[in-house]
Structure 1
């Protein structure tokens, strides 16, 4: 890695650490908002937190009283007040005559609109900063709603002693919400991850909890009656569910489940669901689900960032190894990402045919490698997936696993042994040659290992192609010309006869012709070529020529196709 690249990587690592620090700071602020403060104090805390989470400053803050936004004490600004009043409860940009960037975040909690927070900056903030500000607004709204409930219930307790039962229920709900925050807020620091979030939410709601990726695959489950196998909807139905859920800012019911999208930015990372066939989930359960979704969004964003960094390091190392890099650097970089590069490795190159996207093929390959428990590094290069596999890889097992996931057909080439980092460029070249020969063979779908190519390793070097073509013309030229003039099939007949070791019955069966027809054709071949097919040397040269013809022209089942014939 060059100093510039190292510096860039260090800067990127620093930015990620800074982003994680901001997320932790946001979580601390959110927890602080729920420590019993009033709405004014919560809003003031939100104002002072804006500059710590972004490069923006607070323009103004509003509390909604009787449906009307009232600006907190500050310099009068009639134009700004008018713009905010026209937002009608929505978040959006504020455009004033000075041209500065402004955005109003609507503070909407469980009880509706509680206020607005207007921020200003010379330039629009980054996507990460905007996400932090949105999350701050959400937490402020929920905290203000929570504070509002506390205030309202205290007032009711003083004024209406007769409603003590209702007050008790409200206090219980508030205590449940506090318990939700305390329970779920501990998960990120504990490192329990997705299973921990599912377990905590199950304890809070007494309902089974499912964590799914955006495609419907189960990532974590807690609670009884786990389906086995876990049902997965079709891609069309799944996208329709995600579309309906994304249309509203709160959890939605889908049949026997209440689901909430894990969507920290604009991309859906997953789904958090309460399994509720009896429809007993109320506000408390929905509140817990919403807050659990926020915590899960932070967790999945963190995982995504770590995975992207690790994947980039893997790909960079693979790319450098197959091009050529120094041994000590290769060992050090491999050790840093947890892969033992010492010992025998093989380069595997695979390409899948059809309409599958590269991302889909790469993802299927990662899953197959995990299933096979291969210790490997992976990358993509020139439309193919490249793997550096420790030990001797079972190419057939990999091909079967990919065929089950992707369908269709694909080819895999395996290079020779690598005992040290300097061997990888050679093994990569061999894997590409094996892959190319497989793709141009009679059966283009399957696995070809370089050390199993036999004579094809000699025929397909690319450096002696002219000599090989001359050899083919010398031994098969007359038959090729005859087939071209008469539209006959003598080259294929000869090839099959030699492949069957001169066995008449097997050859006739493979060509689907009668023995007498085969005998006639072989007689014509002797007449045209002048070669005695019983001569050992003649048979060897003719057999090599027919196989060389397939390699040179990439015939798929017909060795006579493609080679240039002489004009009669």
Structure 2
């Protein structure tokens, strides 16, 4: 640029300066000079369509901007400004949009050409305007100083670019990028994922534990930064988003409580964010490859997987598995398509919990992996979730079992087993429609399939064997009557209504149960054991 400036400022002819500018465009990159357009005259390489292009330039009114030139992939008009004057435009085209640094060089060339044109004009007027020439020389000196400062700044930016490119090539990932930006700026640097979880830290003062903002506040902050298109200050930090396309993959931030960050620090931060975006996009590609090779994430969560893999894969899906999660298992009796249940439950959970959830169909059930919600007024929102889903499906005949929350993804299989257990008990209860949590099961946690089934069956046989045999021989319903009697809290009227029999028929059956079993139905110990045995019989018996 300095050499070109010396040659240009030696020229006194406008045409020579413009021709030199046109011939220099190709030396700055894969560009094509379409022409130079002055305020009073036009010099073009391709005259065809000149009137249309001139009209576009007049609409720009001295500002830079995009123009349409034939079928070029990218065309831009760079104003040739110097010492407060707009002398015209340098129009450049390329097959693809250039980088910021390349556009900076083209803009500098246009400004240099404008300065040279002004200088030539001064020389032409030199004989008749000595006083004016002195003033103009002062302005030209300022322009040269700015040009020199621009070149120095360009060299500094080039050093930043080279340093961070080496960091990217080192393969050290986000940690290496954070360390590189820290070395360039002297400030502490943090790399976070899109949810605000710390990925890497470089420099002093790392907080323990690392603070996290609310989901809504985080989302609003990232949206504001994206709209601005530049790094933005938020409290004691300056943040830039790593956004390879439309989606934010991470955030790179400078810790700057004293507000020392200047243009160079901001350039290093923004350039680091570009490299971070490439790195995170590469990591996402690896995670998506893993998703294609392994089973569905939700299936793995309920059968067992390691924490690191689960969280990386969840980020590839745009989901955060860092907070505690729990498993919900559901069935809907009169809905023909499982996909309808999956959709309804997913939407209901998103609406009630205020966040996305993971769903999968598994063995005739719908499984949901959801973040542990906050208890509003001391109550969990499971009943509301059921009501919203039932309303969407237009059926109250659904059962939901809820496992306990777990801190780590690798612990979710336990929550899944608990959800299945709670679902079985809910489906076997007097009112199958609704929600049962594992914490509500009490002694019924002991009634289940797998280990201990023989003991439970033996317990049922010990207390209800005579009634079971009698029902089998006589096609009666004494065990079902006993179960319903205890489910209704020993209330005669409620039991009779539930069984749709007369009160006297109920009395006869209860007397028959006492006679056959030999147990006093009002005795505290017998009542407990008979109720547990009846509930176990109801849960363990094959579905009708």
Structure 1 length-normalised TM: 0.50
**Is 1:445 equivalent to 2:438 in the alignment?**
yes
What does residue range 7-22 of structure 1 map to in structure 2 within 5 Å? none
Gap regions ≥5 residues in structure 2: 1-22, 82-88, 120-135, 303-325, 331-344, 370-401, 430-435, 440-444, 459-467, 499-505, 521-525
What pairs up with 1:68-147 in 2 under 5 angstroms?
Answer: 73-74=45-46, 76-78=48-50, 81=53, 85=57, 104=74, 117=93, 133=96, 136-144=98-106
Assess, with a 3 A threshold, how the Cα gap between structure 1 residues 538 and 294 changes in structure 2: closer, same or farther: closer
Closer/same/farther in 2, CA of residues 144 and 193 from structure 1, 3 Å limit: farther
Evaluate the alpha carbon distance shift between residue 280 and residue 94 of structure 1 in structure 2; reply closer, same or farther with a 3 A threshold.
same
Alpha carbons 2:35, 2:92 under 8 Å: kept: yes
Cα gap change, 1:233/1:280 in structure 2, threshold over 3 Å: closer, same or farther? same
The answer for the alignment partner of 2:201 in structure 1 is 221
CA contact (8 A) 2:36 2:44 kept: no
Partner of 1:530: 515
Matches within 5 A, 1:115-514: 117=93, 133=96, 136-144=98-106, 172-315=152-295, 350-351=327-328, 355-356=348-349, 360-362=356-358, 383-384=366-367, 399-401=405-407, 411-413=415-417, 436-437=423-424, 440=427, 444-445=437-438, 451-452=450-451, 454=453, 474-479=477-482, 486-488=492-494
Shift of 1:43: 5.8
Distance 1:163 1:538, change over 3 A: closer
User: How far is the alpha carbon of 1:228 from its aligned partner?
Assistant: 1.8
How far off its partner does 1:158 sit?
A: 13
Tell me the distance in 2 between the aligned counterparts of 1:108 and 1:457: 85
Helix, strand or coil for the counterpart of 1:291? helix
How far did 1:185 drift? 1.2
Note the alpha carbon deviations across 1:102-124, whole angstroms, 9 max, x for none.
76566999x9x9866475xxxxx
Q: CA RMSD in A?
A: 6.1
Q: How many angstroms does 1:413 deviate by?
A: 2.5
Contact map agreement 1:62 1:115 (CA 8 A) in 2: yes
Counterpart Cα distance in 1 of 2:52 and 2:449: 72
Deviation at 1:456, TM superposition (A): 10
Asked whether the 8 Å contact 2:232–2:240 carries over to 1, the reply is yes
Larger Rg: 2
**Residues 62, 71 of structure 1: 8 Å contact kept:** no
SS at match of 2:246: coil
Please tell me whether residue 546 in structure 1 is matched to residue 535 in structure 2. yes
TM-aligned CA distance change 1:478 to 1:246, over 3 Å? closer
Distance 1:380 1:80 in 2: 61
**TM-superposition CA deviations, 1:144-176 (whole Å, max 9, x none):** 457779999999999978999988865653332
Alpha-carbon shift at residue 487 of structure 1 (Å): 2.6
CA distance in 1: counterparts of 2:90 and 2:425, whole angstroms: 67
The whole-number CA distance in structure 2 between the counterparts of 1:436 and 1:67 is 80
- Say if 1:469 and 1:531 are closer, same or farther in 2 by CA, change over 3 A: closer
Report the CA distance shift for 1:116/1:230 in structure 2 as closer, same or farther (over 3 A). farther
Q: Equivalents in 1 of 2:482, 2:212: separation in Å?
A: 58
CA gap of 1:549–1:79, structure 2 versus 1, over 3 A, is farther
CA separation of 1:152 and 1:271: change in aligned 2, threshold 3 A: farther
Kept in 1: contact 2:484–2:495 (CA 8 A): no
Per the alignment, residue 25 of structure 2 pairs with: 40
Change (3 A) 1:307 1:151: farther
Name the structure 2 match of 1:4.
Answer: none
- Structure 1: tracts of 5 or more residues without a match: 1-37, 48-60, 120-132, 323-348, 364-378, 387-395, 415-431, 460-466, 493-520, 555-562, 564-568
CA distance in 2, matches of 1:553, 1:108: 81
Distance in 1 between residues matched to 2:428 and 2:484, nearest whole Å: 23
Where 2:437 maps in the other structure, the secondary structure is coil
State the alpha-carbon separation in 1 of the partners of residues 455 and 101 from structure 2. Answer: 67
CA distance in 2 between counterparts of 1:177 and 1:261 reads: 19
TM-score, L = length of structure 2: 0.51
Preserved CA contact (<8 Å) 1:479 1:490: no
Compute the displacement of 1:209 (Å).
Answer: 1.4
Q: Shift of residue 180 of structure 1? A: 0.3
1:344-401: CA deviations, max 9, x gaps? Answer: xxxxx953688545995559xxxxxxxxxxxxxxx87574379xxxxxxxxx999422
Any idea what SS the aligned residue of 1:401 has?
A: coil
Shift of the alpha carbon at 1:200?
0.8
Compute the displacement of 1:308 (Å): 0.8
Change (3 A) 1:451 1:44: same
- Matched positions, count: 379
**Shift of the alpha carbon at 1:486?**
3.4
Question: 8 Å contact 1:108–1:114 — kept in the other structure?
Answer: yes
Judged with a 3 Å threshold, the aligned counterparts in structure 2 of structure 1 residues 228 and 307 are, in CA distance, closer, same or farther, namely same
Counterpart of 1:506? Answer: none
Give the deviation of 1:548 after TM superposition.
2.1
C-alpha deviation, 1:91, in angstroms: 7.6
Moved more, 137-146 or 173-182: 137-146
Distance 1:356 1:118, change over 3 A: farther
Q: 1:64 to 1:116 in 2, by over 3 A?
A: same
Return closer, same or farther for 1:95/1:228 CA change in 2, 3 Å cut-off. Answer: same
- CA distance, structure 2, for counterparts of residue 405 and residue 433 of structure 1: 15
Structure 1 66/253 Cα, relative in aligned 2: closer, same or farther at 3 Å?
A: farther
